[in-house]
């Protein structure tokens, strides 16, 4: 049974989520403080978090930042704020989805199931794969090596670069790359793919300034070209 943490200080909202998710067969635990959730994740980790931004002790963004220091557990932000900047910040610091209040409990349950399904597929054990003489992908440890040196990638950056080098010379649209991250296209995150690509390129140059393996196709997307 997959374990869900609901970090929300409003009892009525938490009860609604608990009912909907338990009905779907999830093992749900309600927590009211972000600091408490961090401690519990280290002791008895959950498979997914539903995290309110407006918590009594810590801002949900700060909680997610602390969480990402030791865990890649999927996070769905839950908030009354519906501005684009909030969605962008939440997704950039490592959230997987963003739901605004008021919400449909059935929709949240559907998003939870979709994210957990994608997570399960992406975390299946795969042997080390040497893609070419440039990169080596270690899917078990979530590390990509350049010239036998590990790139210091975030989870989203790892998934993006892995997707690109898995199919050399194929042009991926931003929507396809969002799907590789497990983020819905309607989350308003398409342009932030550009920021992730920029960060990946910078980290590649830290190891080898001559490598220009990711090509931009204006109006279309990005591709990995081993010969670049």
Domains of the chain: 3-122 (3.40.50.2300), 129-224 (1.10.10.10)
pLDDT at position 12 is: 94
Cα gap 157→161, rounded to integer Å: 6
Neighbour tally for 3: CB within 10 Å: 14
pLDDT at position 128 is: 47
Helix (H) or strand (E) segment spanning residue 4: strand 3-7
- Residue 126's pLDDT band, with cuts at 50, 70 and 90, is very low
For 185-203, what is each residue's pLDDT tens digit? Answer: 555 566 678 888 999 999 9
For 25-57, what is each residue's pLDDT tens digit? Answer: 999 999 999 999 999 999 899 999 999 998 999
Angle, helices 60-67/34-43, rounded to nearest 10 degrees: 20
DSSP bridge pairs for 138: 143
pLDDT at position 85 is: 67
For 128-181, what is each residue's pLDDT tens digit? Answer: 444 456 788 887 778 898 887 889 888 888 889 999 988 888 999 988 888 877
What is the reported pTM?
0.59
Using an 8 Å Cβ cutoff, are 106 and 21 in contact?
no
125 pLDDT above the threshold of 60:
no
């Amino acid at each position: 049974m997959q374990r869900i943490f609901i970090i929300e200080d409003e009892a009525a909202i938490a009860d609604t989520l608990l009912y909907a998710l338990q009905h779907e067969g999830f093992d749900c635990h309600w927590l009211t403080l972000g600091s408490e959730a961090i401690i519990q994740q280290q002791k008895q980790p959950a498979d997914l978090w539903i995290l309110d931004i407006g918590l009594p002790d810590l801002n949900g963004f700060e909680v997610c930042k602390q969480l990402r220091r030791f865990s890649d557990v999927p996070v769905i932000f839950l908030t009354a704020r519906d501005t684009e900047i909030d969605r962008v910040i939440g997704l950039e610091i490592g959230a997987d989805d963003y739901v605004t209040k008021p919400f449909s409990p059935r929709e949240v349950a559907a998003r939870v199931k979709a994210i957990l399904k994608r997570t399960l597929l992406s975390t299946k054990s795969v042997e080390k794969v040497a893609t070419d003489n440039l990169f080596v992908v270690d899917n078990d440890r979530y590390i990509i090596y350049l010239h036998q040196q590990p790139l210091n990638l975030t989870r989203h950056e790892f998934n993006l670069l892995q997707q690109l080098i898995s199919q050399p010379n194929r042009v991926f649209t931003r929507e396809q790359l969002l799907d590789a991250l497990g983020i819905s296209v309607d989350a308003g995150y398409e342009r932030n793919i550009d920021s992730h690509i920029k960060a990946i390129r910078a980290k590649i140059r830290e190891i080898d300034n001559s490598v220009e393996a990711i090509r931009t196709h204006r109006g279309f997307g990005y591709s990995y070209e081993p010969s670049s």
